[in-house]
Amino acid sequence: MTFVDTNFFLRFLLADVTNQHNEAKEFFLKSADGKFSPFTSVIVFFEVYWVILGQFKKDKEKVIQTLKKILSLKFIEIENSDLLEKAVNIYAGSSLGLVDCYNLVYAKSKNAIDFKTFDKDLIKKLLKEKSS
């Protein structure tokens, strides 16, 4: 198995360093053909999110499309990808940041009976979820 770090994803996605973009593209194509078994962590996924959020000038729709594209790559094992997919879907329809959305989904997956926060937007979302 081959771990894929943040900058490798970013060079591929942003194509801002040609030789590194080409190397990443070749690796991902070979991985799609089964020659490599790439995997990555939730932390890398969030680092990619933070960079592309700034790179795309906070164009949320473009950020969401990119994150969904990464999650759709079935040849890459992404830690907690099911939770990340749910979080991205919540993020798409709310004013919360992706990290808050992930924390909501993660807490729910662990059957949390309470959620402590001082974040007013997050509290509103929690109350809305409890009432539905």
Q: According to the model, what pLDDT value does residue 132 have?
A: 60
User: Is-contact 93 99, C-beta < 8 A?
Assistant: no
d(CA 6, CA 24): 12
Q: According to the model, what pLDDT value does residue 86 have?
A: 97
* pTM for this prediction: 0.89
**Cβ neighbours for 76, distance < 8 A, ≥ 6 positions apart:** 4, 28, 31, 38, 39, 40, 70
Q: According to the model, what pLDDT value does residue 130 have?
A: 64
Q: According to the model, what pLDDT value does residue 131 have?
A: 59
Report mean pLDDT in 10-residue bins for the chain, 132 residues.
97 95 98 97 97 88 95 96 97 93 94 87 75 60
User: Is-contact 84 98, C-beta < 8 A?
Assistant: no
Beta strands in 7-89 (DSSP E): 38-40, 77-78
